Chain A
Amino acid sequence: MDKKEIMFFLLARAKDGLISLCDIYDCMKETGLSFYDIEECAMESGLLPQRYERNRGILSISEQLKLLRSSVAIVGCGGLGGRVSELLARIGIGLLVCIDHDYFVEQNLNRQFFCNIHTLGRPKAIVLAEEIPKINPASRVIPKIEPFSIDSGTEIFSGVDVVIDALDSFKTRSELAASCYILRLPLVHGAIAGWFGQVGIQAENSIKFLKLFLSAQGKKEIQHDIGTPSFMPAVISAVQVAETVKILLKRNIGDFDKLFFVDLLSLSLESGNI
Protein backbone atom coordinates (compact mmCIF):
# COMPACT_ATOMS: atom_id res chain seq x y z
CA MET A 1 0.00 0.00 0.00
CA ASP A 2 1.37 3.44 -0.81
CA LYS A 3 0.68 6.51 1.28
CA LYS A 4 -2.37 7.57 -0.74
CA GLU A 5 -3.91 4.11 -0.37
CA ILE A 6 -3.30 4.19 3.40
CA MET A 7 -4.95 7.61 3.59
CA PHE A 8 -7.90 6.26 1.59
CA PHE A 9 -8.17 3.24 3.93
CA LEU A 10 -8.21 5.53 6.98
CA LEU A 11 -10.61 8.10 5.46
CA ALA A 12 -13.03 5.30 4.54
CA ARG A 13 -13.05 4.04 8.15
CA ALA A 14 -13.11 7.42 9.96
CA LYS A 15 -16.22 8.62 11.80
CA ASP A 16 -16.62 12.32 12.63
CA GLY A 17 -12.97 12.90 11.72
CA LEU A 18 -11.81 10.30 14.26
CA ILE A 19 -9.94 7.07 13.64
CA SER A 20 -10.29 4.29 16.24
CA LEU A 21 -7.68 2.04 17.80
CA CYS A 22 -9.22 -0.96 15.95
CA ASP A 23 -8.92 0.86 12.61
CA ILE A 24 -5.25 1.58 13.31
CA TYR A 25 -4.58 -2.09 14.18
CA ASP A 26 -6.47 -3.21 11.01
CA CYS A 27 -4.36 -0.80 8.97
CA MET A 28 -1.19 -2.19 10.60
CA LYS A 29 -2.25 -5.71 9.51
CA GLU A 30 -2.96 -4.55 5.95
CA THR A 31 0.20 -2.54 5.52
CA GLY A 32 2.81 -3.94 7.91
CA LEU A 33 3.51 -0.37 9.02
CA SER A 34 4.04 0.68 12.64
CA PHE A 35 1.39 2.20 14.91
CA TYR A 36 3.36 5.47 14.83
CA ASP A 37 3.44 5.55 11.01
CA ILE A 38 -0.30 5.06 10.75
CA GLU A 39 -1.14 7.69 13.37
CA GLU A 40 1.18 10.06 11.51
CA CYS A 41 -0.51 9.27 8.19
CA ALA A 42 -3.97 9.72 9.76
CA MET A 43 -3.10 13.15 11.13
CA GLU A 44 -1.49 14.18 7.84
CA SER A 45 -4.89 13.36 6.28
CA GLY A 46 -6.66 15.61 8.80
CA LEU A 47 -7.94 12.67 10.89
CA LEU A 48 -7.47 12.52 14.65
CA PRO A 49 -6.85 9.23 16.48
CA GLN A 50 -9.83 8.76 18.81
CA ARG A 51 -7.53 8.57 21.86
CA TYR A 52 -6.86 12.30 21.43
CA GLU A 53 -10.52 13.32 21.19
CA ARG A 54 -10.44 15.04 24.60
CA ASN A 55 -7.30 16.94 23.58
CA ARG A 56 -9.18 18.61 20.72
CA GLY A 57 -10.27 21.59 22.80
CA ILE A 58 -6.68 22.72 23.31
CA LEU A 59 -4.66 21.03 20.54
CA SER A 60 -5.25 21.24 16.79
CA ILE A 61 -4.54 18.19 14.63
CA SER A 62 -1.35 19.81 13.35
CA GLU A 63 -0.25 20.44 16.96
CA GLN A 64 -1.05 16.84 17.90
CA LEU A 65 1.04 15.76 14.89
CA LYS A 66 3.87 18.03 16.05
CA LEU A 67 3.82 16.31 19.47
CA LEU A 68 3.92 12.88 17.79
CA ARG A 69 7.01 13.96 15.86
CA SER A 70 8.68 15.33 19.02
CA SER A 71 11.30 13.72 21.19
CA VAL A 72 11.74 14.36 24.92
CA ALA A 73 14.53 13.14 27.21
CA ILE A 74 13.58 12.31 30.80
CA VAL A 75 16.60 12.29 33.10
CA GLY A 76 15.72 10.28 36.17
CA CYS A 77 12.86 7.74 36.08
CA GLY A 78 11.74 7.82 39.72
CA GLY A 79 8.89 9.80 41.28
CA LEU A 80 8.93 12.69 38.82
CA GLY A 81 10.35 10.87 35.79
CA GLY A 82 7.86 7.99 35.87
CA ARG A 83 4.83 10.25 36.02
CA VAL A 84 6.34 12.66 33.47
CA SER A 85 6.81 9.74 31.06
CA GLU A 86 3.25 8.52 31.59
CA LEU A 87 1.80 11.99 30.95
CA LEU A 88 4.00 12.59 27.90
CA ALA A 89 2.83 9.28 26.39
CA ARG A 90 -0.82 10.13 27.05
CA ILE A 91 -0.50 13.58 25.44
CA GLY A 92 1.04 11.85 22.40
CA ILE A 93 4.81 12.46 22.35
CA GLY A 94 6.35 10.07 19.80
CA LEU A 95 9.76 9.40 21.35
CA LEU A 96 10.86 9.33 25.00
CA VAL A 97 14.50 8.84 25.97
CA CYS A 98 14.39 7.59 29.57
CA ILE A 99 17.64 7.71 31.54
CA ASP A 100 18.13 6.05 34.95
CA HIS A 101 20.73 3.59 36.23
CA ASP A 102 18.60 2.59 39.23
CA TYR A 103 16.31 -0.34 40.06
CA PHE A 104 12.90 -0.20 41.76
CA VAL A 105 13.11 -0.78 45.53
CA GLU A 106 10.42 -1.04 48.21
CA GLN A 107 10.66 2.57 49.38
CA ASN A 108 9.75 3.69 45.82
CA LEU A 109 6.27 2.16 46.21
CA ASN A 110 4.97 5.26 48.05
CA ARG A 111 5.16 7.50 44.98
CA GLN A 112 6.73 6.07 41.81
CA PHE A 113 4.08 5.41 39.16
CA PHE A 114 5.68 2.37 37.55
CA CYS A 115 6.86 0.82 40.82
CA ASN A 116 4.62 -2.04 41.93
CA ILE A 117 4.89 -5.51 43.46
CA HIS A 118 5.80 -6.95 40.05
CA THR A 119 8.44 -4.41 39.04
CA LEU A 120 10.45 -4.40 42.31
CA GLY A 121 14.10 -5.21 41.60
CA ARG A 122 13.84 -4.34 37.90
CA PRO A 123 15.67 -1.46 36.10
CA LYS A 124 13.40 1.61 36.06
CA ALA A 125 14.21 2.62 32.47
CA ILE A 126 13.46 -0.89 31.16
CA VAL A 127 10.12 -1.03 33.00
CA LEU A 128 9.17 2.31 31.41
CA ALA A 129 10.12 0.98 27.96
CA GLU A 130 7.79 -1.98 28.53
CA GLU A 131 4.88 -0.10 30.10
CA ILE A 132 4.70 3.14 28.07
CA PRO A 133 3.70 1.47 24.75
CA LYS A 134 0.82 -0.23 26.63
CA ILE A 135 -0.50 3.28 27.37
CA ASN A 136 0.25 4.65 23.91
CA PRO A 137 1.69 2.33 21.22
CA ALA A 138 2.69 5.44 19.21
CA SER A 139 5.14 6.43 21.97
CA ARG A 140 8.49 4.69 21.66
CA VAL A 141 10.90 4.59 24.62
CA ILE A 142 14.68 4.42 24.31
CA PRO A 143 15.84 3.22 27.75
CA LYS A 144 19.32 4.16 28.98
CA ILE A 145 20.44 2.25 32.07
CA GLU A 146 23.31 4.52 33.00
CA PRO A 147 23.95 7.39 35.41
CA PHE A 148 23.66 10.77 33.72
CA SER A 149 26.88 12.73 33.29
CA ILE A 150 28.01 15.64 31.16
CA ASP A 151 30.02 13.15 29.07
CA SER A 152 27.02 10.97 28.21
CA GLY A 153 24.62 13.89 27.69
CA THR A 154 25.86 14.93 24.25
CA GLU A 155 25.26 11.51 22.73
CA ILE A 156 22.01 10.73 24.57
CA PHE A 157 20.38 14.06 23.68
CA SER A 158 21.02 13.79 19.95
CA GLY A 159 17.75 14.57 18.15
CA VAL A 160 15.91 15.50 21.37
CA ASP A 161 13.70 18.64 21.44
CA VAL A 162 13.28 19.17 25.21
CA VAL A 163 15.05 17.74 28.28
CA ILE A 164 13.24 17.10 31.57
CA ASP A 165 15.11 17.23 34.87
CA ALA A 166 13.71 14.54 37.16
CA LEU A 167 16.96 13.99 39.05
CA ASP A 168 17.49 13.90 42.80
CA SER A 169 20.67 15.88 43.47
CA PHE A 170 22.03 19.32 42.61
CA LYS A 171 25.41 17.90 41.61
CA THR A 172 23.98 15.90 38.68
CA ARG A 173 21.53 18.72 37.91
CA SER A 174 24.51 21.06 37.35
CA GLU A 175 25.95 18.65 34.78
CA LEU A 176 22.52 18.34 33.15
CA ALA A 177 22.00 22.11 32.93
CA ALA A 178 25.51 22.48 31.45
CA SER A 179 24.82 19.75 28.84
CA CYS A 180 21.57 21.46 27.85
CA TYR A 181 23.33 24.79 27.42
CA ILE A 182 26.13 23.22 25.33
CA LEU A 183 23.55 21.53 23.07
CA ARG A 184 21.19 24.58 23.14
CA LEU A 185 18.26 22.56 24.47
CA PRO A 186 15.49 23.86 26.76
CA LEU A 187 15.52 22.23 30.20
CA VAL A 188 12.38 21.77 32.32
CA HIS A 189 13.54 21.55 35.93
CA GLY A 190 11.45 19.90 38.64
CA ALA A 191 12.23 19.03 42.27
CA ILE A 192 10.23 17.89 45.28
CA ALA A 193 10.47 17.51 49.07
CA GLY A 194 7.65 16.87 51.54
CA TRP A 195 4.71 19.20 50.86
CA PHE A 196 6.86 21.35 48.57
CA GLY A 197 8.05 21.39 45.00
CA GLN A 198 9.44 23.65 42.32
CA VAL A 199 9.43 23.93 38.54
CA GLY A 200 11.50 26.13 36.27
CA ILE A 201 12.57 26.35 32.64
CA GLN A 202 16.11 27.13 31.52
CA ALA A 203 15.95 28.58 28.00
CA GLU A 204 18.17 26.94 25.39
CA ASN A 205 20.66 29.83 25.41
CA SER A 206 20.64 30.45 29.18
CA ILE A 207 22.88 29.29 32.04
CA LYS A 208 20.73 30.72 34.83
CA PHE A 209 19.62 27.39 36.28
CA LEU A 210 23.14 26.02 35.85
CA LYS A 211 24.37 28.83 38.12
CA LEU A 212 21.54 28.21 40.57
CA PHE A 213 22.32 24.47 40.77
CA LEU A 214 26.05 25.15 41.20
CA SER A 215 25.37 27.54 44.08
CA ALA A 216 23.07 24.97 45.75
CA GLN A 217 25.62 22.14 45.50
CA GLY A 218 26.78 20.83 48.87
CA LYS A 219 23.86 22.38 50.74
CA LYS A 220 21.62 20.13 52.81
CA GLU A 221 18.72 19.18 50.55
CA ILE A 222 15.57 18.99 52.67
CA GLN A 223 14.10 15.88 51.01
CA HIS A 224 16.62 13.85 53.01
CA ASP A 225 14.80 14.96 56.19
CA ILE A 226 11.16 15.31 55.10
CA GLY A 227 10.93 12.70 52.33
CA THR A 228 8.77 12.66 49.21
CA PRO A 229 5.08 11.65 49.54
CA SER A 230 2.80 10.45 46.72
CA PHE A 231 1.05 13.70 45.81
CA MET A 232 4.11 15.87 45.20
CA PRO A 233 5.49 14.02 42.12
CA ALA A 234 1.94 14.01 40.72
CA VAL A 235 1.66 17.80 40.98
CA ILE A 236 5.15 18.78 39.85
CA SER A 237 5.32 16.25 36.98
CA ALA A 238 2.02 17.58 35.63
CA VAL A 239 3.40 21.14 35.58
CA GLN A 240 6.62 19.92 33.93
CA VAL A 241 4.64 18.19 31.18
CA ALA A 242 2.37 21.20 30.59
CA GLU A 243 5.50 23.37 30.27
CA THR A 244 7.08 20.85 27.88
CA VAL A 245 4.00 20.86 25.64
CA LYS A 246 4.03 24.67 25.63
CA ILE A 247 7.72 24.73 24.65
CA LEU A 248 7.16 22.20 21.83
CA LEU A 249 4.18 24.17 20.49
CA LYS A 250 5.88 27.54 21.09
CA ARG A 251 3.11 28.70 23.37
CA ASN A 252 5.13 29.60 26.45
CA ILE A 253 6.55 33.03 25.71
CA GLY A 254 7.44 34.44 29.14
CA ASP A 255 7.87 31.21 31.13
CA PHE A 256 11.62 30.90 30.55
CA ASP A 257 14.11 31.50 33.37
CA LYS A 258 11.38 31.68 36.00
CA LEU A 259 10.99 29.50 39.06
CA PHE A 260 7.60 28.42 40.39
CA PHE A 261 7.48 27.24 43.98
CA VAL A 262 4.49 25.14 45.07
CA ASP A 263 3.51 24.74 48.74
CA LEU A 264 0.70 22.23 49.26
CA LEU A 265 0.78 22.68 53.04
CA SER A 266 -0.35 26.30 52.92
CA LEU A 267 -1.76 25.82 49.39
CA SER A 268 0.19 28.68 47.87
CA LEU A 269 2.26 29.42 44.78
CA GLU A 270 5.25 31.77 44.61
CA SER A 271 7.21 32.67 41.49
CA GLY A 272 10.23 34.73 40.60
CA ASN A 273 12.74 35.44 37.85
CA ILE A 274 16.00 33.52 38.06
Chain B
Amino acid sequence: MKITVKLFATLRTGRFDEKVIQFSNNITISDTLKEIGITSQEAAIIFVNGRHAEFDQVLYDGDIVSIFPPIGGG
Protein backbone atom coordinates (compact mmCIF):
# COMPACT_ATOMS: atom_id res chain seq x y z
CA MET B 1 0.00 0.00 0.00
CA LYS B 2 1.04 3.61 -0.55
CA ILE B 3 1.31 6.19 2.25
CA THR B 4 2.05 9.89 1.71
CA VAL B 5 4.38 11.20 4.40
CA LYS B 6 4.61 14.98 4.94
CA LEU B 7 7.33 16.37 7.18
CA PHE B 8 7.28 19.82 8.78
CA ALA B 9 9.78 22.35 10.15
CA THR B 10 13.18 20.92 11.15
CA LEU B 11 12.12 17.33 10.36
CA ARG B 12 12.67 18.20 6.67
CA THR B 13 16.38 18.83 7.19
CA GLY B 14 18.35 16.04 5.48
CA ARG B 15 15.12 14.19 4.64
CA PHE B 16 12.28 15.42 2.40
CA ASP B 17 9.20 17.67 2.42
CA GLU B 18 6.73 15.13 1.10
CA LYS B 19 7.12 11.59 -0.19
CA VAL B 20 4.93 8.67 -1.23
CA ILE B 21 6.27 5.50 0.40
CA GLN B 22 5.33 1.90 -0.41
CA PHE B 23 4.64 -0.27 2.67
CA SER B 24 3.32 -3.74 3.37
CA ASN B 25 -0.11 -3.94 5.03
CA ASN B 26 -0.81 -3.47 8.77
CA ILE B 27 1.88 -0.99 9.56
CA THR B 28 1.56 1.61 12.30
CA ILE B 29 2.73 5.21 12.56
CA SER B 30 5.63 4.00 14.74
CA ASP B 31 6.74 1.65 11.92
CA THR B 32 6.59 4.55 9.46
CA LEU B 33 8.71 6.77 11.72
CA LYS B 34 11.28 3.98 12.05
CA GLU B 35 11.38 3.55 8.26
CA ILE B 36 12.20 7.24 7.69
CA GLY B 37 14.57 7.51 10.65
CA ILE B 38 12.58 9.79 12.96
CA THR B 39 12.61 8.96 16.68
CA SER B 40 9.54 9.38 18.90
CA GLN B 41 11.53 12.13 20.69
CA GLU B 42 11.63 14.16 17.47
CA ALA B 43 7.92 13.84 16.61
CA ALA B 44 5.40 15.69 18.80
CA ILE B 45 2.25 15.84 16.72
CA ILE B 46 1.01 13.42 14.08
CA PHE B 47 -1.97 13.97 11.82
CA VAL B 48 -3.45 11.21 9.67
CA ASN B 49 -5.68 12.72 6.98
CA GLY B 50 -5.87 15.94 9.01
CA ARG B 51 -6.77 14.28 12.32
CA HIS B 52 -4.54 13.85 15.36
CA ALA B 53 -3.32 10.26 15.73
CA GLU B 54 -1.40 8.21 18.31
CA PHE B 55 1.84 6.39 17.47
CA ASP B 56 0.19 2.96 17.52
CA GLN B 57 -2.48 3.86 14.95
CA VAL B 58 -2.64 1.43 12.00
CA LEU B 59 -2.35 3.01 8.54
CA TYR B 60 -4.29 2.21 5.39
CA ASP B 61 -3.62 2.62 1.67
CA GLY B 62 -3.85 6.25 0.62
CA ASP B 63 -3.39 7.72 4.12
CA ILE B 64 -1.60 11.04 4.42
CA VAL B 65 0.64 11.20 7.51
CA SER B 66 1.84 14.66 8.64
CA ILE B 67 4.62 14.80 11.24
CA PHE B 68 5.47 17.88 13.33
CA PRO B 69 8.38 18.35 15.77
CA PRO B 70 7.94 19.75 19.33
CA ILE B 71 7.56 23.53 19.00
CA GLY B 72 7.42 25.10 22.44
CA GLY B 73 8.92 28.59 22.41
CA GLY B 74 7.14 31.72 23.53
B50's partner among A165, A198, A272 (CB-CB below 8 A) is: A272
CB of B45 within 8 Å of the partner chain:
yes
Tell me if B74 and A272 are in contact (CB < 8 A).
no
Tell me if B72 and A193 are in contact (CB < 8 A).
yes
Chain A interface, DSSP helix/strand/loop, else mixed: mixed
Tell me if A226 and B52 are in contact (CB < 8 A).
no
- Not counting A196-B9, A273-B50, A273-B52, a sample of 18 additional A-B residue pairs whose C-beta atoms are within 8 angstroms of each other reads A165-B74, A167-B74, A168-B72, A190-B74, A193-B72, A196-B10, A197-B71, A216-B72, A219-B44, A221-B73, A222-B70, A225-B10, A226-B10, A228-B73, A233-B74, A266-B17, A270-B8, A272-B52
State the CA gap A29–B45 with chains docked (Å).
55
Q: Which residues of A contact B69 (CB under 8 A)?
A: 222
Residues 27-66 of B, flagged 1 when their CB comes within 8 A of A and 0 if not, give 0000000000000111011010011100000000000001
User: How many Å from the CB of B29 to the closest CB on chain A?
Assistant: 13
Tell me if A271 and B52 are in contact (CB < 8 A).
no
State the CA gap A191–B44 with chains docked (Å).
13
Give B contacts to A, CB under 8 Å: 6, 8-10, 17, 40-42, 44-45, 47, 50-52, 66, 68-74
B73's partner among A79, A212, A273 (CB-CB below 8 A) is: A79
Give A contacts to B, CB under 8 Å: 76, 78-81, 165-170, 173, 190-198, 208, 212, 215-216, 219-223, 225-228, 232-233, 259, 261, 263, 266, 270-274
A-B contact count (CB 8 A): 96
Chain B interface, DSSP helix/strand/loop, else mixed: loop
User: How many Å from the CB of B71 to the closest CB on chain A?
Assistant: 5
State the CA gap A195–B13 with chains docked (Å).
13
Q: Which residues of A contact B42 (CB under 8 A)?
A: 219-220
State the CA gap A220–B73 with chains docked (Å).
12
Tell me if B71 and A166 are in contact (CB < 8 A).
no
State the CA gap A222–B41 with chains docked (Å).
11
Tell me if B45 and A259 are in contact (CB < 8 A).
yes
| Contact status of A272 and B66, CB under 8 A, knowing A219-B41, A220-B42, A221-B71 | yes
User: How many Å from the CB of B13 to the closest CB on chain A?
Assistant: 10
